[in-house]
Amino acid sequence: MVRNPKLIAVLHNPIAIAESIQQRKRWEQFFILLGWFSLLVALLTLVVLVADLLIRGWPLLNLKFLLSPPSSDPEEAGILTAWVGSLLVILVTIVVAVPLGIGAGIYLEEYAPKNWLLDFIEINITNLAGVPSIIYGLLALGFFVYILKWGESILTAGCTLALLILPVVIVTTRESLRAIPVGIREGAYSVGASRWQTIFDHVLPYSMGGILTGIIVGISRAIGETAPLITIGALTFITFLPEAPIKGEFPYISFNWLWSPFTVLPIQMFNWVSRPQEAFQINSAAAGVVLLVLTLLVNSTAIYLRYRFRKSIKF
């Protein structure tokens, strides 16, 4: 029982209680306003950026722009080779980075013996995520282009970007695996599952939502990368498409496109912006809109997938 009158005054005096609540509510209101303001700054920046691109690029945003190769005449120039290049490079990036990243993440989290070496590797993977992308470009130039002699190809570019996003995929894979409650693992082991079965049947599927988030972040970064691709020698002016992957005659499928020279959207934009003619600025803005839409499409697919995974799994 409280007897101290000072305490009774603050704990049980209705006026003090009402005042205390009111004061705290005011703070809450203040922070809600502050939150709104922060959100507004972030959103407004985005809206202004997109609106600016849209307004300037509007006259060019049509099918012809999408389906024409670049040209020295700004009216005729399009982004066909650029967006096809972007898509193909990202495709290679995904195919390379996702299995490697998830595999490495699973090994490090579930199988690797917990010792100083693991700590050392862990620290370095985290550091790798922060290495500037141009460094990866230099590595790729030395390794893929000069040693493996893959040339300035889509394969080289895809692998370079894969290296770039690999650390992000590995780190988020590990974090998602770690977030699965111990009870789930123990439940699986308790009915006689092996470690691999526990991981493959339970831990991995349940953590897919988190892993996909890592992949989204990685891909969004890769899609806009320019520096490492310029380093490995991406072309800035290319008028022909890579060879189609599907053919009319046997064996119907071809991987020759992997060896094609290429350009990507950000490089195409960069090329146009740096030209003296005013007209190319419009092309650049329009290409910017397309790049944004492309990023958005990739992201929303991934977000949808993540939503599906999250919805079906609840602990």
Partner 1 sequence: MVKPTEEAVVTQQEPLRKLAEVRDLNFYYGRTQALKNINMPIYEKKVTALIGPSGCGKTTLLRCFNRMHDLYPGNRYEGQILLGVDQPRNLLEMDPIEVRMQIGMVFQKPNPFPKSIYENIAYGLRVRGIKDRALLDEVVERSLRNAALWDEVKDRLKEPGTSLSGGQQQRLCIARALATDPEIILFDEPTSALDPIATVSIENLIVELKEQVTILIVTHNLQQAIRVSQFTAFMYLGELVEYNDTMSIFTKPVEQKTADYVSGRFG
Point out which span in 5-13, 87-95, 134-142, 307-315 binds partner 1 (CB under 8 A).
Answer: 5-13
Q: Sign of the C-alpha dihedral, residues 122, 127, 133, 138?
A: negative
* Count of beta carbons in the 10 Å neighbourhood of residue 254: 12
Q: What 3-state DSSP class applies to 191? A: coil
User: Does residue 2 belong to the site contacting partner 1 (CB under 8 A)?
Assistant: yes
Q: Which of 23, 38, 256, 312 binds partner 1 (CB under 8 A)?
A: 23
- Name the helix (H) or strand (E) containing 302: helix 279-312
User: Does residue 6 belong to the site contacting partner 1 (CB under 8 A)?
Assistant: yes
| Residue closer to partner 1 (CB basis): 1 or 246 | 1
| Residue closer to partner 1 (CB basis): 2 or 182 | 2
User: Does residue 315 belong to the site contacting partner 1 (CB under 8 A)?
Assistant: no
Sequence-distant (≥ 6) Cβ neighbours of residue 177 within 8 angstroms? 105, 106, 109, 110, 199, 203, 204, 207
**Smallest distance, Å, CB 29 to partner 1?**
14
User: Does residue 20 belong to the site contacting partner 1 (CB under 8 A)?
Assistant: yes
From first CA to last CA, the distance across the chain in angstroms is 41
Per-residue CA distances from 87 to 123, 153, 156, 283 (Å): 32, 14, 14, 19
**Smallest distance, Å, CB 27 to partner 1?**
10
User: Does residue 4 belong to the site contacting partner 1 (CB under 8 A)?
Assistant: yes
| Residue closer to partner 1 (CB basis): 11 or 33 | 11
**Smallest distance, Å, CB 18 to partner 1?**
8
**Smallest distance, Å, CB 175 to partner 1?**
20
**Smallest distance, Å, CB 310 to partner 1?**
17
**Smallest distance, Å, CB 12 to partner 1?**
7
**Angle (deg, nearest 10), helices 154-178 and 204-223:** 140
Alpha helices in 179-278 (DSSP H): 182-190, 195-198, 204-223, 227-231, 265-273
User: Does residue 24 belong to the site contacting partner 1 (CB under 8 A)?
Assistant: yes
Per-residue CA distances from 14 to 3, 21, 26, 280 (Å): 17, 11, 18, 71
User: Does residue 10 belong to the site contacting partner 1 (CB under 8 A)?
Assistant: yes
| Residue closer to partner 1 (CB basis): 14 or 251 | 14
Q: List the Cα angle 189/194/196 in 5-degree steps.
A: 115
User: Does residue 12 belong to the site contacting partner 1 (CB under 8 A)?
Assistant: yes
Positions touching partner 1 (CB under 8 A) are 1-2, 4, 6-7, 10-12, 17-18, 20-21, 23-24
